[in-house]
Structure 1
Amino acid sequence: MANSKEVAIKDLASSPEFIQELLPSAERTALLYHLSYLCLGEFPKLERIIRDRAVETQLLFGSSEALLLKCVETSDNLVTLLFPMLKKAVEKNKPNLANKYLEKAIKWIDEIIDDVGKIVKRYEKLNVDVASSTSDISTEKKQTKEQKQQQTSEMKALQKILDDLEKEINNVNEEKNKTEKKMEEKESEIQTFISTLTSKTEESSEKVSGWKKSLHVFTRIVPFISNIISYAVKMVTGTTDEPVLKAHTDVLSLLTAEKENLRKQEWEIQNKLMQHQLKLAQLKIENGDIPDANHLVEVQKCLTQIQQILIQLQVFWEKVGSLLNSLKQKTSAGEDMIEDLDDLKEEFLESVEAAKGCWTSFGKSCIKANGIFSIQAKSAYKFLEISPSSLSKDEWQTQYDIVIEKLQILGSDDNGSAAVPAIEQ
């Protein structure tokens, strides 16, 4: 795993709720560890390996909880301290006052960037450890070749079904990735169009100049694409630019619906896959085989997703810091925002007020994510207290069914795309 922002594939900060993309991966991780524990825990060496990795993950989730709490506090400081002081600076024409609070905000953000970077490195190390554990389990399997390993015709038939379902999932994933790329391209087109709106100066109408200035200010204190687009739609209403922006947003809405439809298709196939994987797993255990470590492979996918999103969180705060630095520099030079707003104070204040709502929403998302990581750190790994080898067949099956049901419910939620929540044998 590369220890750099190259891991981040796309800009997740399209809306204040982007941080909630963490939630399904965080919750799924414990469930997948539980499945690994149930399927491999009858072998003492493998039980110890899984236990060590699960405890390591639990501790890291505790640190992630603290990091998200810091994001909540910083968002709250922006809403309750920075934005009110910016408004006060505009109202009283005091750029030095604005600079003072911008400097404080930039310091808060620099601290978060550093903290996120440290957590990302820990996720990288954990992912390497889990990969090593998967390799250890594979080695253990090779050392048990003397056990019966002949495949039955039923096992072969199930494997054929699994292979076909895997192909279906890959096809759906490919289509979903294409749709996401189209969405990113369309969002980029819309951002470019909005930039052209705020850069035009030839119009003489004071009203037009006002809404463009308001939109320009908003884009410099709100980093969320969806909020920028919504604000732009509101600003252009009744102008000649409205039809163009509407055409762009209509396409984006269609692409969003298409992506959601593909996500649902993906989860339906995954549910079928899970059912057949359970049957094959049971047959292989009865046949004397050590199950594969596919649950841990899925754990790696979840940890990678969390790491990617945290890298995006780091990039996000860097972007916010850059925006505030730019605002501070131009305010100091008397070029922008504060000293030249005698005729546009109302628009500036309106933009700041709208920005407060966006940042409040982001803070609430961080609170929700913080709560999930808190649960994961404190209670989601209680299954480690009981060795799977001590469970009766019925107890084992009951635990397995409960975990599978939770994974199915998690995958049907509208809080993010699901990774494959089942094992392959």
Structure 2
Amino acid sequence: MANAVVPTSWNPGFIEELLPSSQQVSLLYHISYLCLAKFPKLERLLRMRAVETQLLFGSSEAVMLKCVGTSQNLVSSLFPMLIQAVEKNKPVLAIKYLEKARTWITEIIRDVEKMADRYDALNKDVATTTSDVITEKKETDKQLGQLSKDIATMMETVKKLEAELSKTTAQLTETEKKIDAKNSELQNLVRAAAAQSSSLAVLAALVPFIGPLLKALYESRSAAAVAQNIKVLESQLIQLNAEKTSLKQQQWNLQVQIIDWRMKLAKLQLDKDAIPEPTHLGEVQRYLSKIQTILVQLKGFWENVYSLLGNIKDKTFVGEDLIDQPDFKELFVKSIQTATQIWEAFGLSCGKAVNIFRVQSKDAYRFLEIDPSSLSPAVWQKEYDSVKGKLQELKVFDDGIILAIQS
């Protein structure tokens, strides 16, 4: 019977990270677009990058739709066929469908990889645009002469907040590294225990998520031997995650303050006909990188699923007679039924990601339909305040995930 291939840990709720990142990107583009209203050349460059991002989100929606479809195919096609193959002792049929499923997954891996590469290319383009803004700003500032004392004071305040943010971010990164290490230790312990249990080995081979395995292990008789070690690791993870949540809240509070001061600074610079600092574009790059990282992790996830299915094929249906054993049949069917529920939940998560990208590709960039230089001062200020308010409505909740407050 198949032993579990240990995959990269992956949370089906990954869309909770996609939502704020995609929202941040569009809002930061919007505020940058408004701030470049008086500078047509830079406005055109920014519009180009924003349109590219909008199109990329549309393509990302298509890739996530494929993830939804593949998850549904595993549930509606592969798993029932595996049950049928085991019940009717037809290993050749099982191998055929496992290979078919691996073909679906190969296509997803290729598509997700291409999408991650496109985010990387877009990020470089945004960096080039940022550089262009900085170059243009230097020329404009020379013509304007010495900036006001108010602007210099604001810039100093922003620098202090950024230094504090950098320190908090470093602490958060260190805490996340500790969490990753503990998660890896917990995962290895749980999967090793599952591999030794006849009732859990099949489930471990079918399900690339650690949570359901941990639950199943606690409910089985085999949990006693490792339960204490698992509880110690869980306790350490709870403490580390509490620290992470606190640091993320602190980080976000600082980010909100910096956004507020940068907006005040940008408005003051605009009033003096100076090009604002392109700091918001730097933030765009950061959130694009976050989405790219999620896609890279998604690619790794599907690569591990590909390996898991290959392991099932090679160790369960090739060269062994285990499918002739009644006890194994019952165990196998039960494990697939459990795996079906887990994969259905994953499909729903992918469906939510589809909706996130759909909204961002269709609705979030409507501001590009309006020429910001054509807005009256009052309308410009109203639009500016609206975007500022939306940015400040993003909060960090107790689970440490940045989410948008739903109106």
The match for 1:330 among 315, 336, 342 is 315
1:390 maps onto 2:390 in alignment: no
Q: Percent identity?
A: 48
1:357 maps onto 2:341 in alignment: yes
List gaps (5 residues or longer) in structure 2.
1-6
Measure how far apart 1:321 and its partner are. Answer: 0.4
Counterparts of 1:132-147 in structure 2 under 5 Å?
132-147=128-143
Q: Distance in 2 between matches of 1:341 and 1:262?
A: 53
What code does the residue aligned with 1:232 have?
Answer: L
The match for 1:49 among 38, 45, 52 is 45
The match for 2:283 among 274, 298, 302 is 298
How many residues end up aligned between the 2 structures? 397
Q: Distance in 1 between matches of 2:324 and 2:156?
A: 70
Partner residue of 1:207? none
Deviations, residues 101-159 of structure 1 (Å, cap 9, x unaligned): 11111011011111112212222221121111111111211222343242433333322
RMSD value, Cα: 2.3
Deviations, residues 347-397 of structure 1 (Å, cap 9, x unaligned): 332322221122111111111110111111112111011111111222112
What code does the residue aligned with 2:216 have?
Answer: Y
1:271 maps onto 2:271 in alignment: no
| Partners of 1:39 and 1:291 within 8 A in 2 | yes
SS of 2:33's equivalent in the other structure is helix
Partner residue of 2:108? 112
Partner residue of 1:308? 293
Q: Which is worse superposed, 142-151 or 367-376? A: 142-151
| Partners of 1:90 and 1:341 within 8 A in 2 | no
Residues 15 and 418 of structure 1: CA distance in aligned 2, closer, same or farther (over 3 Å): closer
Counterparts of 1:409-420 in structure 2 under 5 Å?
409-412=393-396
| Partners of 1:130 and 1:296 within 8 A in 2 | yes
Residues 323 and 234 of structure 1: CA distance in aligned 2, closer, same or farther (over 3 Å): same
What code does the residue aligned with 1:279 have?
Answer: K
What code does the residue aligned with 1:383 have?
Answer: F
Q: Distance in 2 between matches of 1:332 and 1:390?
A: 68
Residues 366 and 394 of structure 1: CA distance in aligned 2, closer, same or farther (over 3 Å): same
Measure how far apart 1:184 and its partner are. Answer: 1.2
Measure how far apart 1:403 and its partner are. Answer: 1.2
Q: Distance in 1 between matches of 2:221 and 2:182?
A: 18
Partner residue of 2:175? 179
Counterparts of 1:17-416 in structure 2 under 5 Å?
17-200=13-196, 212-235=197-220, 239-335=224-320, 338-339=322-323, 341-412=325-396
| Partners of 1:137 and 1:293 within 8 A in 2 | yes
| Partners of 1:14 and 1:226 within 8 A in 2 | no
- TM-score, normalised to structure 2's length? 0.91
SS of 2:141's equivalent in the other structure is coil
SS of 2:208's equivalent in the other structure is coil
Deviations, residues 4-23 of structure 1 (Å, cap 9, x unaligned): xxxxxxx9853211244222
Partner residue of 2:3? none
Measure how far apart 1:335 and its partner are. Answer: 3.4
Deviations, residues 186-217 of structure 1 (Å, cap 9, x unaligned): 111112222432454xxxxxxxxxxx123222
Q: Distance in 2 between matches of 1:243 and 1:13?
A: 22
Q: Distance in 2 between matches of 1:24 and 1:16?
A: 16
List gaps (5 residues or longer) in structure 1.
1-10, 201-211, 420-425
Measure how far apart 1:342 and its partner are. Answer: 2.7
Partner residue of 2:4? none
Q: Distance in 1 between matches of 2:249 and 2:316?
A: 48
| Partners of 1:16 and 1:358 within 8 A in 2 | no
Q: Which is worse superposed, 101-110 or 143-152? A: 143-152
